[in-house]
Structure 1
Amino acid sequence: MKKFIQLGAVTLALTTSQMTLADWVKDAAQAAEVKTIQLRQHIHQYPELGNMEVNTSKLVQKELKAYGIQVKTGFAKTGVIGILKGGKPGPVMALRADMDALPMQEKTNLSFASKVKAIYQGKESPVMHGCGHDAHTAILLGAAKVLAQHKDQIAGTVVFVFQPAEEGGADIDNFSEGHLIGSRKMISDGAFKDLQPEVIFGLHVIAGIPSGHLHYKTGAILNSADNLKITVNGQQVHGSMPWAGRDPIVASAQMINNLQTVVSRRSDLTQGMGVVSIGQIQAGTAGNIIPEQVSMLGTIRSNNEQVRDNILKTIPQVVEHTAAANDVKAKVEIATYAPVTMNDETLTEVMVPTLKQAANGNVKILNNNASASEDFAYYGKLMPSLFVFLGATPANQDMSKAAPNHSPFFIVDDATLKTGVESHVRFILDYPNVASQVQTAWKNKALKK
């Protein structure tokens, strides 16, 4: 017997046996909850920075091996790949979690709060899991345990991707060497060389969404991110006689203002949005000396690749022409971090029933993408991908007052972990039933490019 569910232009056929999977999946995720929480709290208490996740990596390897999952290493320094072959033939499917923490002081007063300090960019810094990657790692380990215990129910092969340095590396120049970390390095180091997944799933815990709730949308779910560095060289002179030199500070101020017109006057905002922000300015040694040089660092974000490309092309023109108008020299450097994170339309639509089962119906379609960025986007360049948000704030709290991700007060409610585990498990169990639809649409889209 089949039940047909209409989702936009996609019709999903669910067999009776598929629909009764909830009988054991929910129970299995519940049974794994205590262990998942223990893992998450341990990882939280002992966080490690990007490219330095040595002990976290060892923990992941130990757990996967204990579950009977094949383990491969040698990717992106501390990355781990787990491989689990199901009891039935089917596609190769990937699940991804990131493992790294942030260089920041924790102020949560949790019993398992971090007291760790480590070297970041050559200086000692407090370390905290202020974005929720501890939860992501524990959730994927919990899902791995459940899937390994029920591998006879899996149609296909599961690739577990434990990735380092999503937030950047502690030991490299993230501006010039970003390709040496995170998902890009996992891919270039051959994480999928021997076993290429045809689909990948990921999730991110988010403050301000109730625990156990899942939010999603098709298309752009997170912005692109590119790093901007501008160096302006003038001629140093006493502040009382600026005409005798060339002022890079005034020129830089004009550049910052003019950069805003790259979005407001030079971008087609019917296609999407863009943001250019300067977050750091360094110049001068005294108030009465016009310095020789100004250096600026900034970030570029967009939810549309055409808008993004136009911004990246236009910024050097604006800066260089502003420099010429002020008789100073300017050097513009742009370093790519991540493309727009895109949810494959067909994959997203056919997995909606899966999300609803995992979250007990507590699922919401987002009207807009989130403004942050994720290097998960690079996996989506290789295969259909789906990235969803999992609520991290206790349901009885005021969502508007929840400390956001990257705050020293950021907290993940452990009660949400079992929903994350169940989501991953259901992604793997349900995808084979819709694989042909997803792959056909993916190939047709590729032919149109």
Structure 2
Amino acid sequence: MKQLIPVLFLLLIFTPKITAASNIEEMVNDIEAKVIKWRHHLHQHPELSNREFETAKYITKHLKSLGLEVQTGVAITGVVAVLDSGKPGPVIALRADIDGLPVLEQNDLPWKSTQRGELEGNDVPVMHACGHDTHVAMLMGAAEILVKIKNQLKGKVKFIFQPAEEGAPRGEKGGAELMIAEGVLKNPAVDVIFGLHISSDTDVGKIRYKEGGTMAAVDPFKIVIKGKQAHGAYPWLSVDPITTAAQIIMSLQTIVSREIKLIDEAAVVTIGSIHGGNRSNIIPSEVELVGTIRTLNKAARDHMYEALPRKVKGIADSMRAEVEVTLPLDYSYPITYNDPALTEKMVPTLIRSAGADNVIYSKPVTGAEDFSFFQEKIPGLYMWIGGKPLDVPADQAPAHHTPEFLC
């Protein structure tokens, strides 16, 4: 659990004349067994997004035992605590996500999850298949140590335990966006925020970071193509939405390959769902496509919003079909954007805590994080903390969101 050290130093950089690094490491070593115990408990008792009631109670009990001011029920199940040093200074937030996933665990562990939950009316298995149990345990440990050195701090620390990072259930709101709407960045007003994620393919002890766009914006979309139904033997009597859909799918890739400046950042357009027709000999009247856009800078994102409807409408017109485009569809995440000035200021701290050889400048990823909603409001830094055992090759490490994940 040495991953605690970077979290602490991200805070301590703001407080000169702080406890020596060796003392911090001693405190981390002393609390390590407790953090592991917390993590095992959380792993064994995961809960789905917006249903993290017992998890919230577990966190709250610990924070109150530290004498912290605690607020519960934020964004349904979120927990927020404030550590006030009593001295002037910045308000710095640390965030950990707390929800599990509908995944059936296949690890043989004493603390294996056998939990079940309800998702959209269905009974499903629940597992911490992304490492949020580790995030919570680390932040609980960081809170305990920071309380111990309260007299050496300046300003305030806000601990944010956020529900529903994996997405609220259909028809509900949740996660970082709802926390912000309910005022989590106010009273006291937060100046900067830090977040992290355990990484199953990065060696334990290493930290990966990047300034600017580090994780992609997410913009789901739906395209409904309306044509004219006809017998499959007489296609000239139809306005064929299936062939129109095929042309649209292929053409959307040219936005990325021919219109986006890919030497700056990557972009992705993926169609993940196609629905239309029910027989081999009937050309249907309608086809529905559902997909996602991933971008890493604002210029590319803005261009996608202009180009996708343009491409779709142009092809539909050429095929005599009608088309409806919904973009974004049901939710949308901004770019996880690490403030360049804040990142530059923090890198020496990362090096100081993990060692120069263990701090890695990383390429961005086209996955997404709703931590990005915090970064839209205030400067933030999000980084990856290694969780892979040294004796496991990176290409054999179980991936996030899989039944074998263990990190």
* C-alpha distance in 2 between matches for 1:312 and 1:103: 32
Residue 312 of structure 1: how far off its partner (Å):
1.4
Q: In 2, Cα distance between the equivalents of 1:15 and 1:296?
A: 53
Corresponding residue number in structure 2 for 1:287: 280
How far apart are 1:14 and its partner, in Å?
10
CA distance in 1, matches of 2:119, 2:357: 39
1:400 alignment partner, one of 395, 401, 406: 395
TM-aligned CA deviation for residue 362 of structure 1: 4.6
1:383 aligns with 2:378: yes
The within-5 A match list for 1:244-393 is 244-335=237-328, 336-393=331-388
Could you tell me whether the CA contact under 8 Å between 2:15 and 2:152 is conserved in 1? no
1:227 deviation in Å? 0.9
Q: Provide the rounded CA distance (Å) in 2 between the counterparts of 1:346 and 1:394.
A: 32
**Which residue pairs with 1:72 in the alignment?**
71
2-side partners of 1:367 and 1:58: how far apart? 36
Secondary structure of 1:265 counterpart: helix
Q: Tell me which residue corresponds to 2:205.
A: 212
Q: Distance in 1 between matches of 2:255 and 2:122?
A: 36
Change (3 A) 1:362 1:131: farther
Matching residue of 1:431? none
Question: For residues 204-250 of structure 1, what are the alpha-carbon distances to aligned partners after superposition, in whole Å with 9 as ceiling and x for unaligned?
Answer: 00111111211112222111111111222223333222222222111
Would the alpha carbon gap of residues 132 and 402 (structure 1) be closer, same or farther in structure 2, given more than 3 Å must change?
A: same
Contact 2:339 2:381 in 1 (8 A): yes
Q: Which amino acid aligns with 2:107?
A: T
Which runs of structure 2 are paired with 1:430-441 in the superposition (5 Å)? Answer: none
1:29-108 maps to which residues of 2 (within 5 A)?
29-108=28-107
Asked if the contact 1:92–1:196 (Cα under 8 Å) also holds between the matched residues in 2, the reply is: yes
SS of 1:372's equivalent in the other structure is: coil
Report SS of the residue matched to 2:256.
helix
Cα gap change, 1:409/1:297 in structure 2, threshold over 3 Å: closer, same or farther?
same
Question: Is contact 2:91-2:158 (8 Å) kept?
Answer: yes
Tell me, in whole angstroms, the C-alpha distance in 2 between the residues paired with 1:118 and 1:264.
42
Moved more, 252-261 or 342-351: 342-351
Deviates more, 1:186-195 or 1:112-121: 112-121
CA deviation string 1:105-135 (max 9, x = no partner): 2222222222222222332322221111111
Q: 1:245 and 1:116 mapped to 2: Cα distance?
A: 51
Question: Is the contact made by 1:305 and 1:339 (CA closer than 8 Å) also made in structure 2?
Answer: no
What fraction of aligned residue pairs are identical, expressed as a percent?
A: 40
CA–CA distance in 2 between the matches of 1:200 and 1:392? 22
Distance, in Å, in 2 between the alignment partners of 1:62 and 1:277 is 43
Aligned to 2:7: none
Superposed CA RMSD: 2.0
* Aligned counterparts of 1:30 and 1:281: Cα–Cα separation in 2: 53
AA matched with 2:147: A
**Residues 137-181 of structure 1: CA deviation (Å, up to 9, x unaligned):** 1111111111112211211110001111111112x24xxx6xx32
Contact (CA 8 Å) 1:339, 1:377: kept in 2 or not?
yes
Contact 2:205 2:358 (8 Å CA) reproduced: no
**1:153 counterpart residue number:** 152
Deviations 1:353-395 (A, max 9, x none): 3212332445333242122111111111222211110001111
Question: Which residue of structure 1 lines up, in the alignment, with residue 230 of structure 2?
Answer: 237
Q: Which residue of 2 aligns with 1:121?
A: 120
Separation of aligned partners in 2, 1:87 and 1:353: 27
Q: Which runs of 5+ in 2 are unaligned?
A: 1-12
Name the CA distance, whole Å, in 2 between partners of 1:116 and 1:367: 35
Which region of structure 1 is more displaced relative to structure 2, 108-117 or 155-164? Answer: 108-117
Q: Which consecutive residues of structure 1, in runs of 5 or more, have no partner in the other structure?
A: 1-12, 413-449
Letter in 2 for 1:214: I
Residues 402-434 of structure 1: per-residue CA shift (max 9 Å, x gap) = 11212221110xxxxxxxxxxxxxxxxxxxxxx
- Answer yes or no: is the 8 Å Cα contact 1:246–1:328 preserved in 2: yes
8 Å contact kept, 1:183–1:378: yes
User: Structure 1 residue 17: deviation in Å?
Assistant: 4.2
Aligned residues: 393
Q: 5 Å matches for 1:8-23? A: 17-18=17-18, 21-23=20-22
In structure 2, the residue corresponding to 1:71 is in which secondary structure? strand
What SS does the corresponding residue of 2:58 show, helix, strand or coil? helix
Is contact 2:70–2:79 with CA below 8 Å preserved after alignment? yes
* Contact 1:97–1:133 under 8 Å retained in 2: yes
